[in-house]
Structure 1
Amino acid sequence: MSDDSNQRKIDVTSTAIEKGIDVAKGFIDKLVLPPAEELGLLIKDQISLWRFNNQVRILNKAKAVCEKNNVSVKAIPPKLLCPYLEHASLEDDDELQDKWAILLVNMVDSQQNIQNHVFPYILSQLSSDEFKLLESVLIEKERRVSELEGELSEFLENRSAIEIRLKSEVDEISQKLQSLSPDGKQVYSAEAMELRSSARSKEREIRSLEYKEFMLRRQIAAPESIPEKNIKEFEIANIIRLGLAKVVYEASAGTHSIEVPIGDRDSSYASVDFDIEIDTDTSTILTELGELFIDACREKNA
């Protein structure tokens, strides 16, 4: 190839590069204000300054929270701090910057032991709407659990007295039944039948006390469902991708009866129950990781 051809090739390539830089610079000016022309900076310098300003705002917010709550600050390893600053520098949403600041406060609080390397990454992947949704779900769970724990506490406090009362009432009924039948034979009078029915009812109440405690503890331990009514599909998919939520399946079977002929007569049938209809319900629940993450981004008041 001739020298002229090489020169022409170099000239064309150089021109293309210059035009490419101009196009990229013009585009970045639209994305980041003020424009690079006004600052007299290169594109890289402008982005670096923008990220630095985000870091400064977040660190100042964190400092204010520490002072407000008298947080005793401890040093954290660079392995944790550097990724935090890297991810935080890209956040310019004011509400999420507050969450970044609180996350840092909780990480440096000597009274806490939050050393989770994945939390900064997770926060960097969430939109403000996604975070608000998760936070509202955790708040609802805390409200529900608090209410159930109060009910359980009251129940346990009164259970013994309730049990004693019911057993005493059963004993009284037994004595009345004995008085109706001094010889020990079964009596089928209306009064005796009513007394026996009442005794069975009291015994069921006694047995139900244990079941009620079991159900209350089960409801307290149950995960919180995420309402999908006002959330977009890609948002719930992102939350699941990050491990903050998961889909659970619950199957239920419906019982149906069929009649089977028996014997020689057409009029004789046996009724048999078959579970043949199965329904599957799905729900999206907040995971333990989701709860820990949201809690790590919430301010702990002094």
Structure 2
Amino acid sequence: MADIEKILDNLNIPKQIIDKSEQLLKALFGQSFDEMGGIIADQVKLRRFKNQIKIFSKAQEILKEHKIDPKKVSLKVLAPLIEMSSYEEEETLQEKWSKLVAHVLSGNSDIIFQQNCISILSKLSSDEAILLEGLFKKLQRRRIERHNTQLKRYHQNEAHYPNSKGNVYPKKPDEYSITSFEFNIASYAKENNISEKELYFKISNLITLGLLKWETDVQVEATKDNDDPDSDIDVEVYVYNDEAFVFTSIGDRFIRLTTNI
């Protein structure tokens, strides 16, 4: 059986990083951690293990920074978390995996949400992650702008009608519904100098992952023949999709969890 110390030496990872992650990995694997050398047999597995070391090391730092002790994690979550994170070699996405690992080990969400996040992150490209962050930053700016506009109106009404009960203090920026802020593919592509075709493809992928959704307008028209009182009412439904989209609830939670926004 291969010696785990020799394998770690071959990975050329700084000792301080290994020391930080070893404690967390041993807490998760128990005695089996010392037997992992027998499992790592080829270069692919070595690369995956190196990825895990980096991700879990950073997760350990996050937990320590927030003074959180790792909680026991369901095997339904732990197994795919370790498996999927090991494939990620891009530093940008490794950072997101570290945040997700720390979140899972903190025990602050339900299993279904954790499983969804693991699945989403395993399918997310770095370009899509950057796009998602850009969209969310714009969403946050628009929330602040709406809050400031309504706050200004509130103070104006307060000055003119100090005793008015109808003058309600505006919501906080994060309290505005995410579905009330639409994005348009053509407009966003033009603002950011992106090909509409390329943007449409990426948005479609993010929609498939459940992070965004198409915003559809539904119009219902009902008509009845006035000359025939016994006639049926004709109902026609028109569904419009002008390539507008919005964030979903899981998209909002996911990006807050995996970024510093």
State the TM-score bracket (shorter-chain normalisation): 0.5 to 0.7
1:60 corresponds to 2:21: no
1:107-118 to structure 2, matched below 5 A, reads: 107-109=104-106, 112-113=108-109, 115=111, 116=113, 117-118=115-116
Paired amino acid for 2:137: I
Instruction: State the secondary structure of the residue aligned to 1:118.
Output: helix
Question: What TM-score does the superposition give when structure 2 sets the normalisation length?
Answer: 0.60
Contact 2:143 2:176 in 1 (8 A): no
Aligned-residue identity in percent: 28
In structure 2, the partner of 1:120 is 118
Quick check: 1:65–1:105 contact (8 Å CA) kept in 2? yes
CA distance in 2, matches of 1:82, 1:60: 18
Alignment of 1:210-225 (within 5 A): 222-225=180-183
**Root-mean-square deviation (CA), in Å?**
3.8
Contact 1:73–1:108 under 8 Å retained in 2? yes
Compared with structure 1, are the counterparts of its residues 287 and 219 closer, same or farther at alpha carbon in structure 2 (3 Å cutoff)?
A: closer
Is the 2:92–2:126 Cα contact (8 Å) retained in structure 1?
yes
Any residues of structure 2 matched to 1:20-99 within 5 Å, and which? 45-99=42-96
- Among candidates 243, 248, 260, match of residue 215 of structure 2: 248
RCO higher in structure (CA 8 A, sep ≥6): 1
Structure 2 vs 1, CA of residues 78 and 283 (structure 1 numbering), >3 Å: closer, same or farther? same
Counterpart selection for 1:234 from 201, 221, 229: 201
What letter is aligned with 1:119? C
Letter in 2 for 1:113: S
Aligned to 1:56, what secondary structure does the other structure show?
A: helix
Per-residue CA shift, 1:102-161, capped at 9, x if unaligned?
Answer: 111122235x33542110110010110101111121122122212322433453455344
C-alpha contact 1:138 1:224 (8 A) present in aligned 2: no
3-state secondary structure, aligned to 2:242:
strand
2:258 is equivalent to residue 297 of structure 1 = yes
What stretches of structure 1 of length at least 5 have no aligned partner?
Answer: 1-42, 168-206, 253-278
- Count of aligned residue pairs for this structure pair: 190
SS of the residue 1:76 aligns to: coil
Partner Cα separation in structure 2 for residue 113 and residue 218 of structure 1: 23
Q: Distance in 2 between matches of 1:95 and 1:71?
A: 24
Name which of 132, 156, 165 aligns with 1:134: 132
Q: Distance in 2 between matches of 1:218 and 1:296?
A: 19
CA contact (8 A) 1:73 1:109 kept: yes
